[in-house]
Amino acid sequence: MTASTPNPEFDDPGQPPTLPAVLRALVEDAQTMVEAEAGFIKAAVAFVLGRVKSIAIALVLAVFFLFFTLMAIVVGLLLALAPMIGAWAAVAVVAGVLALLTAISAWFVIRGGRQMVAVLIGKSGGKS
């Protein structure tokens, strides 16, 4: 019911509205609110889905370029170190550093995972 639509059951200011009239108005207001909320949620979901798609594409491109940047760094290190310490030693140094970085990263992941599980099951998450 809108403000411009007259309702004969509420027109007489001297008489209180009847219970069925109040309930009918309440149901109409509830329907209007549900329709408005559904429209809002539908628009919000459409917006989020559009943004998620563009964010996912940007993320894939970022990971793609990051991979090739890291590959260029590794190849550059191999080319720079080979004349100084030899090709096999350069490969060993670069591989060793990469293995060390991998181990450190894995340790952070495992530690964070253990802390998360401890918090989720209710144990103290303060240990490292």
- Residue 73 confidence class, pLDDT cut points 50, 70, 90: very high
- Residue 123 confidence class, pLDDT cut points 50, 70, 90: confident
Q: Determine what percent of the chain is predicted with pLDDT higher than 70.
A: 86
**How far is it, in rounded angstroms, from Cα 23 to Cα 20?**
5
pLDDT, residue 26, reads 92
- For 3, phi then psi, to 5°, come to -70, -25
Helices 87-121 and 19-85, packing angle to 10 deg: 150
What distance lies between CA 51 and its chain's CA centroid?
A: 11
Q: Answer whether 92's CB lies under 8 Å from 78's CB.
A: no
pLDDT, residue 126, reads 53
DSSP H helical ranges for the chain: 19-85, 87-121
